[in-house]
Amino acid sequence: MHGRVHNTKIIFDPIWGIIDITQHLPMIDTPEFQALGFKYQLGVTSLLFPSATHTRKQHSFGAFRRASDLGLRWQQQGMITADQAKTMAAFALWHDIGHGPFSHVAEAVTKERYGRDHNQNGKLIIERMAKILEVMGIDPAEMQRFFAHKDPVSLGVSDKNLGAEKLDYLSRDAYYTLGEKPGVEYLAHHTYLIDDQIMVDEKVIDQAKSIQEFYVKMYKLVYLRKNSIIAQRMVQKMTSALLQGVPMAEEQFWGLTDFALLGQFETSPDPLVRAYYQRLMNRDLPKTAIALRPNQFASIGDRIDKAQITLGVNETQMQQLVAAPSLSSPQGLEQAELQIEKLAGLPAGSIVLLPPPTPERFVPQDITIFTGSRAPAKLSDYFSGHFEALREEGLSYMTLRVCTFEPHRQKLSQPDIAEAVRAHLLSLTTPH
């Protein structure tokens, strides 16, 4: 008697090995999901880390595999139902489906222009593809609840500390940039959903603390690497100029891949966009001429052998710069860049302004600890100095950079001009 052979579809992933995607082919074989294969997970970071060309499609498969394993464990532990586990895995697979070209970088422009982010765009896509979910036995309305983070089970994917997508991109990004793996498996196996909260067992407290420290390390060495954020700002400026000169329907823009947007830059009727594009392709990036840093860290990274100057501000002023509305939107940054060009007597398009990162990037959310018969605790209850240390790390990295191309760097870094630029930037923090 012969057994029945099923046609299994598998893929190989460098992080996970073999991933079985057989049951989810209807979700995978869609234009919207396949487009994620042409959107880099780390955008232009490959300019610095040549191996960092992994895509949002790869990351989505990894998040799917991690969420599938987590959902099975939670189901066996009686924390969720089989239907919830199935929806969680599907949510992980599609969680990035709303991303446009260059993801968060260009999204800052599209949110300002169209009033929608990738999560909101993803919800619209799910509405259009509801029949695919129904074929798979998944309730489209419940999937919408996951995208809106209204179902606590969605935390298994989207929790800022321990979600499947967070642990996957952290592991994947580290592998392709630093050649490291943070070691999250023991922590993931002791992650629970109790009383609609993500918790970790108290036996993995040290691992929970370590993963937050590794996250900060990735921000310092990869995500906020100076040349990477300079290149990101150039893409943002080109996107903004492109959409001003070539009106484009929102759905058309969201449908572009990274490569399609680069093609738009290359053939843009705007000579400044084309010039920026050529510089980006040649890795001819602007350099820091003026840096504003908290006073206690102003001497870190100061270089007397380069045409740049570092000026100190007090901590309150730095926090005000972080929160300044004029420095938190692409349009506001464009206006500030124009004013600095006028102050310094430099030509249009010569200034690239990089606002300081928000403290939230360095100070993660607290983690709830499952303690058995006792009331749940917080990671901060055990390591009160841990979060303060992360806050100080973030403060040391808070820098507002005024960059320009090499021919203008010497002039912009002159002390009198730098002081005038600092005064102008601080004036933007004062309500008018």
The per-residue DSSP string of 138-201 comes to --HHHHHHHHTT-SGGGHHHH-TTT-HHHHHHHHHHHHHHTS-----HHHHTTEEEETTEEEEE
pLDDT for res 4: 59
> What are the tokens at 98?
């709303």
Partner residues linked to 11 by β-bridges: 19
Q: Are 168 and 63 in contact (CB under 8 A)?
A: yes
Q: pLDDT exceeding 90 applies to what percent of the chain?
A: 80
Q: What angle do CA 358, 212, 295 make, to 5 degrees?
A: 40
The per-residue pLDDT for range 280-303, each reduced to its tens digit, is: 999 999 999 999 999 988 887 666
Q: Are 287 and 231 in contact (CB under 8 A)?
A: no
Please check the confidence at residue 239 and state whether its pLDDT lies above 60.
yes
Domain residue spans of the chain: 9-181+225-284, 286-356+398-432
Which region among 67-76, 232-241, 393-402 has the lowest average model confidence (pLDDT)? Answer: 393-402
Q: Are 326 and 332 in contact (CB under 8 A)?
A: yes
DSSP state at residue 378: E
pLDDT for res 305: 67
pLDDT for res 149: 92
pLDDT for res 3: 55
DSSP 3-state assignment of 49?
coil
Handedness of CA 274, 275, 279, 285 (dihedral sign): negative
Band (pLDDT 50/70/90 cuts) for residue 1 is very low
DSSP state at residue 344: H
Q: What is the mean pLDDT of the chain?
A: 93
How far, in Å, CA of 432 to CA of 419, rounded?
Answer: 22
Share of the chain residues as helix, strand and coil, in percent rounded to the nearest 5: 60, 10, 30
Give the Å distances, CA to CA, from 214 to 2, 89, 161, 167, 300.
52, 26, 11, 11, 22
> What are the tokens at 77?
């532990």
> pTM of the full predicted structure?
0.94
User: What CATH superfamily classification does 9-181+225-284 receive?
Assistant: Hypothetical protein af1432 (1.10.3210.10)
The per-residue pLDDT for range 124-168, each reduced to its tens digit, is: 999 999 999 999 999 999 999 999 999 999 999 999 999 999 999
CA neighbours closer than 13 Å in the CB half-sphere of residue 120: 9
